């Protein structure tokens, strides 16, 4: 009976002895190459090594290799060894063909992503070394679901200093990205009896979907020329999700009067304000606007993330909430912390050392130059008006009626990743539809920024 021989990592079905061994070896190798078990380019063992593994004469292996080279299944070159040849697919080949992936965009102008090529690798590595050198032994055990105490303390200090958040480490829960934080909040709100959440008429559809998956209904809030009006949410709404410092994607901050109104609603009804402070570090033409949480820390859940200031791949976010709610969020995460300990310790050191402040300052200067170049391009396009440029990593380009569809078609031809404003509109929003595109100027690396602007210029009317 044939036996499996493990041969330098290759499973071959061979008769161990007999006059047919050479043909059996050739047949086994041919079948392995034909079925893809041996991928094109795979280097085979030398004839000496394979013969030793099989316990046969070296000439038997060498002759089997030579047969397959002649047939085109293998290639043999001096110094490169014997490898599986690349073979064209025959017209009647029934093997499954690889799935063709969509072409990658030539330029990415989608909002919500920073220039990840500018991630401060050296400073981050230094912070990791310092943090690892002083980390206590218990840091490498099962973690607290609320996160490492070093990071919670560093975040409480940083947010109080930079964003005016009233926090102590006991109110902070570290999460694995904004999506996880919002999912956890949705779970906690549902358990508390909340059935509907007020959301902005324009916003990330992903965020609405996360809340809806938690069993919550999303209700669009009124929107006018001054932005979102959250002061009197519809009946039955138990919480509102807002971007007060820089409304996404339209751009205006929540006015002082409307901040006061939504805080009064929360206190009067027992509702909660969920504050998404997604890009609070980036301000250009106005003074920083403090977090709404500072007005009512007992009725607000503050959500922050490192995805804009550093990189989304870190998957680090946090909530700051009243103590009882913080305990419920941590409990919803489960028994063990699922964030990498080293990342948390490193980020704590990165914040405490001032490296984060220095990186944000440098990034702010670079993004401001990009924003100015984008505004100049839009100024040369007839009928295009730029809004929402005082802060953040994106701008809204208002277009003439019908302009959004034509610009999006042109962007597809230019292989330009771009979003129209319609993609962010709540399907139940009772607001006038506006033709516009939302242009993110964070994602392209510096060397590609000019090319991305040129592509955008060709798309505009």
Q: Are residues 126 and 229 part of one domain?
A: yes
Domain of 76 in residue numbering reads as: 3-84
Taking only the tens place, the pLDDT of each residue in 92-129 is 444 555 555 556 889 999 998 999 999 999 999 999 99
Q: Give the tens place of pLDDT for each residue, 369-406.
A: 999 999 999 999 999 999 999 999 999 999 999 999 99
Q: Could you tell me if 43 and 163 lie in one domain?
A: no
Specify the CATH number for the domain of residue 427.
3.90.1150.10
CATH of the domain at 35: 1.10.10.10
Residues 384 and 343 in one domain: no
Residue 221 lies in a domain: yes
Q: What is the pLDDT of residue 10?
A: 60
334, 356, 378 - which closes a domain = 356
Q: Hey, what are 33's tokens?
A: 């190459």
Instruction: Say if residue 281 is in the same domain as residue 423.
Output: no
Distances (CA, A) of 85 to 2, 32, 35, 79, 97: 26, 12, 13, 16, 18
Q: Is residue 147 part of a domain?
A: yes
Res 88 pLDDT > 70: no
Q: Are residues 252 and 166 part of one domain?
A: yes
Banded model confidence at residue 2, pLDDT cuts 50, 70, 90: very low
Q: Is residue 246 located within the same domain as residue 186? A: yes
Mean pLDDT of 321-350: 89
Residues 251 and 400 in one domain: no
Q: How many CB atoms lie within 10 A of CB 251?
A: 20
236 and 216, same structural domain? yes
Domain boundary among 356, 391, 420: 356
Q: pTM of the full predicted structure?
A: 0.79
Q: Can you give the pLDDT at residue 14?
A: 55
Helix (DSSP H) and strand (DSSP E) numbers for the chain: 13, 19
- Residue-wise over 131-151: b if at least 16 C-beta within 10 A, else e? beeebeeebeeebebbbbbbb
pLDDT, tens digit, 9 for 90 and up, residues 424-449: 999 999 888 899 999 999 999 999 99
Residue 144 lies in a domain: yes
Answer yes or no: do 132 and 245 share one domain.
yes
Last residue of one domain, picked from the residues 356, 387, 402: 356
Residue 391 is assigned to a structural domain of this protein: yes
For residues 174 and 266, membership in a common domain is answered with: yes
* Residue that the structure tokens 């040369």 belong to: 380
Domain count, the chain: 3
| Residues 406, 461 contacting (CB under 8 angstroms) | yes
Q: Are residues 352 and 362 in the same domain?
A: no
- pLDDT tens for each residue of 274-323: 999 999 889 998 777 899 999 999 999 999 999 999 999 999 999 999 99
Residue closest to 405 by CA, chosen among 388, 418, 386, 392: 418
Whether 100 is in a domain gets the answer no
Q: Is 90 part of any domain?
A: no
pLDDT at 364: 95
Same-domain status, 400 and 289:
no
Residue 94 in any domain: the answer is: no
Mean pLDDT for the chain? 89
CATH number, domain containing residue 170: 3.40.640.10
Residue 298 vs residue 54, higher pLDDT: 298
**5 pLDDT exceeds 50?**
no
Q: How do residues 204-257 score in pLDDT, each as one tens digit?
A: 999 999 999 999 999 999 999 889 999 889 999 999 999 999 999 999 999 999
Within-domain flag for 96: no
């Amino acid at each position: 009976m044939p036996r499996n021989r493990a041969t330098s990592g290759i499973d071959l079905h061979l008769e161990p002895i007999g006059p047919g061994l050479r043909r059996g070896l050739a047949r086994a190798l041919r079948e392995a190459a034909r079925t893809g078990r041996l991928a094109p380019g795979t280097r085979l063992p030398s004839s000496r090594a394979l013969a030793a593994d099989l316990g046969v004469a070296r000439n038997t292996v060498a002759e089997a290799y030579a047969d397959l080279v002649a047939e085109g299944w293998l290639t043999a070159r001096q110094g490169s060894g014997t490898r599986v040849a690349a073979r064209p697919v025959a017209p009647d080949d029934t093997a499954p063909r690889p799935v063709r992936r969509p072409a990658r965009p030539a330029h990415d102008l989608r909002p919500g992503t920073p220039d990840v090529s500018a991630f401060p690798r050296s400073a981050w590595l230094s912070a990791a070394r310092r943090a690892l050198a002083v980390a206590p032994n218990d840091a490498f055990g099962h973690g607290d679901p609320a996160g490492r105490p070093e990071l919670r303390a560093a975040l409480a200090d940083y947010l109080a200093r930079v964003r005016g958040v009233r926090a102590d480490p006991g109110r902070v829960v570290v999460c694995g990205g904004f999506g996880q934080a919002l999912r956890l909040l949705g779970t906690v709100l549902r358990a508390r009896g909340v059935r509907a959440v007020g959301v902005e008429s324009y916003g990330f559809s992903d965020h609405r979907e996360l809340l809806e998956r938690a069993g919550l209904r999303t209700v669009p809030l009124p929107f006018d020329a001054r932005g979102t009006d959250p002061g009197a949410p519809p009946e039955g709404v138990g919480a509102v999700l807002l971007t007060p410092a820089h409304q996404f994607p339209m751009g205006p901050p929540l006015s002082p009067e409307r901040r006061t109104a939504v805080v009064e609603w929360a206190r009067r009804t027992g509702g909660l304000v969920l504050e998404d402070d997604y890009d609070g570090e980036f301000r250009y033409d106005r003074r920083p606007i403090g977090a709404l949480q500072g007005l009512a820390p007992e009725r607000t859940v503050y959500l922050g993330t490192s995805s804009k200031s550093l990189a989304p791949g870190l998957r680090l976010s946090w909530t700051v909430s009243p103590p009882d709610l913080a305990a419920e969020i941590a409990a919803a995460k489960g028994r063990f912390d699922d964030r990498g300990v080293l990342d948390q310790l490193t980020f704590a050191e990165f914040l405490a050392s001032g490296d984060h402040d220095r990186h944000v300052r440098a990034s702010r200067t670079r993004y401001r130059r990009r924003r100015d170049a984008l505004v100049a391009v839009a100024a040369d396009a007839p009928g295009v008006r730029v809004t929402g440029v005082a802060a953040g990593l994106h701008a809204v380009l208002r277009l003439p009626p019908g302009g959004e569809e034509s610009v999006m078609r042109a962007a597809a031809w230019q292989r330009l990743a771009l979003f129209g404003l319609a993609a962010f509109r709540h399907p139940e929003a009772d607001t006038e539809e506006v033709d516009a595109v939302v242009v993110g100027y964070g994602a392209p690396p510096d060397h590609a920024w000019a090319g991305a602007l040129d592509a955008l210029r060709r798309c505009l009317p």
